[in-house]
Amino acid sequence: MHAQPAEMWSEDYQSQLIEAYWRALRKHPYIVGAHPWAFADFKTSQSIMRVGSLNHKGVFTRDRRPKLAATRLRELWGAAKG
C-alpha cells in the first residue's frame, strides 16, 4: 500500500519512519547497532483492528517480497559503511 503524501501504515510512511529512527540513532555514538522490529509481515489472531489478520510492520511481505522499507534500509546501511 502506497500513499503520497505518506499516510500512516503505508509503505511510504514505514520507510520515512525507519529513516527518522536511523537519523536519531546516528546522533548518539554510544549506539553501535540496530535492526528492524520485524523481518517480514506475519499472521496474527483475528481482530477488528487488523485487516486479514496480518501485521504489516515487516520490511518484507509475508511471501518475502521486499517492501519500500527494505530498499531504504539497504541504502541507509550502505551509506553507513562509507
In one-letter notation, the amino acid at residue 81 is K
Using the 8-state DSSP alphabet, how is residue 42 labeled? E
Give the number of C-alpha atoms closer than 13 A to the C-alpha of residue 21, restricted to the C-beta side.
15
Range of the domain at 62: 11-81
Is 3 inside a domain boundary?
Answer: no
According to the model, what pLDDT value does residue 50 have? 72
Do residues 67 and 58 make contact, with C-beta atoms less than 8 angstroms apart?
Answer: yes
pLDDT of residue 80: 66
Q: Give the predicted TM-score (pTM) of the model.
A: 0.78
Residues of the chain with pLDDT under 70: 51, 80-82
d(Cα 49, Cα 70) in Å, to the nearest integer? Answer: 25
Say if 19 falls within a structural domain.
yes
Residue 5 forms part of a structural domain: no
Count the domains in the chain. 1
